[in-house]
């Protein structure tokens, strides 16, 4: 799980990886014969190679277009980019709550020009709110607004949903009701954080774990995370 990419290592922070570190990580995956997939491919598969990775980037920021896309092309890797639809062509103003610098979000034109053999687009909600704080009707309305933008602009978006902040109802009937709601809205996969590798086929298609790659993770930490997930020493 990635967010922002920056040009200088001095600008790294919790959610921002330098282009130098990102290239080292991609080169490691390529040199060690990791196979990258889109979710649309996994939907049709019953088994995958042991060394399989899904690279995910939340928020479709312009820095991903500038820095991540050329590296994906260079190393012939695929990735999934998740759209917070309300913010297309604006800035990620929710970052004010986290203390992270605001970033520009790609425009409709930029999203439509992304090479589909490399980038698969997915859902990151409409308003980038925490699902745990929303009622069923509010979640339904959020999906309706996403679909309106997709339809109006003829965007090609696969129904995989990355939960904003990795947040969703986790317990009992609230968890079951949430999964029913996103299933009714035709989502085929749901992504949390979890920080552990997944088995495939997924144990729960709406609780797919992602490993959070931090801006200050060196290559050794990255290698360990890819193999084991997040360890306490990190």
The CA distance from 136 to 106, in Å, is: 29
Q: How many CA atoms lie within 13 A of 26 on its CB side?
A: 23
- pLDDT of the residue at 164: 97
The CA distance from 169 to 190, in Å, is: 12
- pLDDT of the residue at 73: 98
Domain boundaries, the chain: 4-228
- pLDDT of the residue at 222: 97
Contact 208, 195 (CB under 8 A): no
Q: Residue 234: pLDDT above 60? A: no
DSSP class of 98: T
CATH architecture entry for 4-228? Alpha-Beta Barrel (3.20)
The CA distance from 157 to 150, in Å, is: 7
Burial 160-175 (b: 16+ CB within 10 A, else e): bbbbbbbebbeeeeee
Number of CB atoms found within 10 A of residue 183's CB: 13
- pLDDT per position as a tens digit, 174-202: 999 999 999 999 999 999 999 999 999 99
- pLDDT per position as a tens digit, 87-120: 999 999 887 766 678 899 999 999 999 999 999 9
Task: Look up the pTM and report it.
Answer: 0.96
């Amino acid at each position: 799980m990635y967010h922002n990419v920056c040009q200088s290592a001095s600008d790294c922070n919790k959610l921002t990886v330098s282009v130098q570190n990102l290239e080292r990580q991609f080169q490691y995956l390529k040199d060690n014969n990791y196979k990258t997939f889109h979710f649309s491919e996994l939907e049709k598969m019953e088994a995958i190679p042991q060394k399989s990775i899904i690279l995910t980037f939340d928020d479709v920021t312009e820095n991903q277009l500038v820095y991540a896309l050329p590296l994906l092309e260079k190393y012939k890797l695929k990735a999934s980019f998740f759209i917070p639809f309300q913010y297309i062509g604006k800035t990620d103003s929710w970052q004010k709550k986290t203390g992270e610098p605001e970033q520009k979000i790609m425009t409709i034109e930029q999203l439509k020009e992304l090479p589909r053999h490399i980038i698969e687009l997915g859902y990151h909600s409409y308003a980038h709110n925490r699902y745990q704080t929303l009622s069923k009707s509010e979640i339904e309305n959020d999906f309706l607004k996403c679909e309106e933008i997709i339809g109006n602009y003829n965007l090609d978006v696969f129904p995989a949903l990355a939960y904003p902040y990795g947040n969703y109802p986790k317990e009992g009937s609230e968890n079951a009701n949430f999964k029913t709601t996103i299933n009714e809205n035709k989502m085929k996969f749901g992504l949390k954080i979890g920080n552990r590798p997944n088995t495939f086929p997924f144990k729960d298609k709406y609780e797919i774990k992602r490993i959070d790659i931090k801006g200050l993770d060196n290559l050794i930490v990255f290698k360990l995370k890819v193999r084991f997930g997040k360890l306490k020493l990190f």
